[in-house]
Structure 1
Amino acid sequence: MAPVLTAEQLQQWEDDGYLVLEGFFSPAETTEMLDRVHKLLNEFDLEGHPLTTFRTDEDKEGHIGDEYFLGSGDKIRYFLEPSAVSRATPTTPASLVVPRERSVNKIGHALAVLDPVFHKYTFEDPRIKQVAQDMGKKDPRVLQSMVICKQPKIGGSVPCHNDSTFLYTDPPTAVGCWIALEACTPENGCLSFLPGSHKKVRISSRFVRASAGGTTFETVPGVEPNEEKWDELDGWKEAPVGPGALVLIHGSVMHRSPPNPSTKTRMIYTFHMIEGGAEYDAKNWLQPTSEMPFQRLYA
């Protein structure tokens, strides 16, 4: 197959640490993925669900870390918006305060392997393989495939972060493939990036399984943390995109997204790649299993 990325696009990727490819997927392909999301949401069964929410606000109640989350690497599980679930009291259990299909923050983390539609557009699409080859990936392995819903009115913000903190390899090799299934705008929570930050960031902290259970952050030995307050720097750029866009995200580039106060959903599908030759250790929160190792993209 001929290269997908032009020399100019590869230079932009190198310079900015992210690349927006509008119209990468056709309207029909995008609709197929979006219809599958709606089907999954309609099939969401609350019976037996622990009402596990997904939060990214480290300074409030900490990141998620129950078994439902930690054991999701080889399953399709549903994680709820924190504001969609009432707090439990001594006399009243937690419960949903919004319709079931509007309560979901994300669905993951093995959609690319277990769901036929998302498998098709991850492993079977020659364009995805060619993009990875164009970027110089030698043996990319796919992990953490998920839908993120960003629900109307309650879809929460995602603070400034980079992906290699959460999918740590030595050396850092993570790349995100982020696919817009609907229009992603400043009004409903599109991505923003700090271009070029991937060249300055030192991965000095990583998100790990805590020895006492749950998750925590720990420092990377021998790596001095950056002094920059990335969120406060000038130069952030919003990246609004239309349905079918593919956004490539370097594992070290700083990015974020605001909450969704609008009446429109912001559905996206995303998966990550790491190099098979890099060390991915047992401290990472997401772990492969003997039944489902991280799958080779080129296989």
Structure 2
Amino acid sequence: MARPLRIQYEGALYHVTCRGNERKAIFRDDHDRNVFLELLSDGVKTYNINLYCYVLMDNHFHLLLETPLGNLGEFMRWFNITYTSHYNRRYKRSGHLYQGRYKSILVEKASYLHVLSRYIHLNPVRTRQKEKASLSEKKRYLRNYPWSSLLGYIDDTKRGACIDYAQVLEAYGGETREGRRLYWEAICNDVSTGLDIKEEVVGGSILGSDSFIKWVRDRFLPAKSREIPAVKRVRKYSTKEEIIKVLCKEVGKSFDEIKRERGMIRQMAMDVLYRLGGLTGTEIGEMIGVDYSTVSQGRKRLREKRKRDKHLSALLGKIEADLS
């Protein structure tokens, strides 16, 4: 099994998830959930973790946390082993409780802390059982879901002792009645419009601006690794600004001119933004002013042309070399 990408440094922010083995339940009743939260509270104090939010589902959990000491691995090792020991003792079982290693996404705090907290808090209504529920039913369910830190964000009488609410609520006016109201309004809007940031995660491991991803790539990622596929995916990632600059130089056109093109040059832009920039078809379409299917079809046509056209192949190779 390939090792997941692990980047640790002081002050790093992570979205951590862990799923039950074979997608089976990791909580059988409220006693298990309460034990889990008690251990979580003990752990964040012992390991000096800043916990911003959590959501417990039947077969997995979500945490949004910051590590001032750069010790995510140490904390998660203790936490998962300790809860697994409780679970195995209580149900007279042995073996793994979780499906492999925990998953952690490194997050740029300035850009994504408050948005990601909302994304995580939406999980209870992002299930098959709730997908056909009305908007009012979903909002009511979230407001009454007991195994989430959301309640403490919208009602100060339900605050948990181990949660740092201030930094998230700062984006909504602070820890005041108005700040909590605005946070709940943002959640309600997310329920109505949908909030999905999965496609913004680069290499399945990093969520942040182009400059943040470049900083992480240049500072922390090994140049080569056969064991960690995510390193290869993030390593080859270039910011869209870098790609556009090189592309414009090689084809002798501005990006506005490229966007107005309907042939090979625009297809080249779509292709290198996808392959070398880590952007999705939807994101590229928004940049260029076309729909997702046009991006997909354009990239397909370019691949076919590249096989036949030596000049095109050489030009793309030059762009790839400039960005590598």
Q: Same fold (TM over 0.5)?
A: no
Greater strand share, structure number:
1
Higher relative contact order (CA 8 A, sep 6+): 1
TM-score by length of 2: 0.23
TM-score by length of 1: 0.24
Greater helix share, structure number:
2
- The higher radius of gyration belongs to 2
